[in-house]
Amino acid sequence: MENSAPRAPKKRFVTLLLEIVVLLCVVAVSAVLGWYIGRSEGKNVRAVTRQFEGERQRAAGLRAERAELREKIRILQESSTQQQETDVDRLLARKEDEWKKQLNQVRIEAEVEKVKRVEELEREVRLLKMSERMKEQAAEGDDSQVPQGVAEGLTPRARQVCAEMLAWEELTPDELEAARARLRAELGARSLVRVKFGSGSAHVGTDDLDALRIALTDTSDFSLILAVGFADTGGDEELNRELGSLRAQNTADSLQGIIRRGQLVESIYLGETARFGAKAENRVVEVWELER
């Protein structure tokens, strides 16, 4: 019992010493860990601070870029608006010019139509006056010396011409030419064309129509177109009369479709003749123009 009592303090001392050593170790470890952690945290804070500063600068740069872009967009919008307004003004000006041109064209066309209508009315008046004068002239002409039954039903001027033609039967070619010239000078009558017919035929063919159309191109307005039929000296006289009259009438009917406005057409058969030469040459209708 006396030997074990002195050992207890030594044990407590060792235990205390161990505890102190452990405590010191713990403190040392804690200090090291604290220093390391503090250093790491300091590094992280500085990194975060630098990163934050960088982000703030980037945000400022983005805000500046955004402001610059907004300014550019505003300028573009203003420029676009001005351009649009300019384009609209140009379009309206162009449309206005087009409308003015169209209006002027309509006015010009209206004036032209008015002038045409006035000219047509004046022409109608002239035609009416000319028609009345033609009727008066148709009744004129001294046909008292024309034998009874010659060219009956014709106007006096046409009867005079036909009476002159009937006296040409025995004339020589030179005398006949002189008589034609005198007829033109005194009575204003001239031969235009001769339409030839085959034996027994009274048909006016296409070529004959073309010849008539060409012959009438240089005739005067309001003149009298006279179709004078003849027959050759062979065959039955009454049959020749019927055939010659039919030829003259058919020629006159053809002329009705191609004469000028205001012209008149008359037809007559003047009998058998040999004045045009060979027998076949006398189966004709001679078309004359009588000036009035």
**Residue 111 clears pLDDT 80, i.e. is over it:** yes
Q: What is the mean pLDDT of residues 284-289?
A: 95
| Among 171, 146, 144, 176, CA closest to 161 | 146
State the pairing for strand pair 284-290/264-272.
unpaired
CA distance 167 to 165: 5
- Name the band, by pLDDT with cuts 50, 70 and 90, for residue 2: very low
Averaged confidence pLDDT in the chain: 80
Q: What is the pLDDT of residue 7?
A: 53
Distances (CA, A) of 102 to 25, 98, 114, 249: 110, 6, 18, 54
Banded model confidence at residue 106, pLDDT cuts 50, 70, 90: confident
Tens digits of residue pLDDT in 141-200:
555 545 455 566 788 888 888 888 888 888 888 998 999 999 999 888 999 999 999 988
The 8-class DSSP code of residue 223 comes to P
Tens of pLDDT, residues 37-60 = 666 655 566 776 777 787 778 878
Structure tokens at 6: 């002195």
Q: pLDDT for 197-235, tens place per residue?
A: 998 899 999 999 999 999 999 898 888 999 999 999 888
Torsion angles phi and psi, residue 270, rounded to 5: -110, 10
DSSP state, residue 264:
E
This prediction's pTM: 0.53
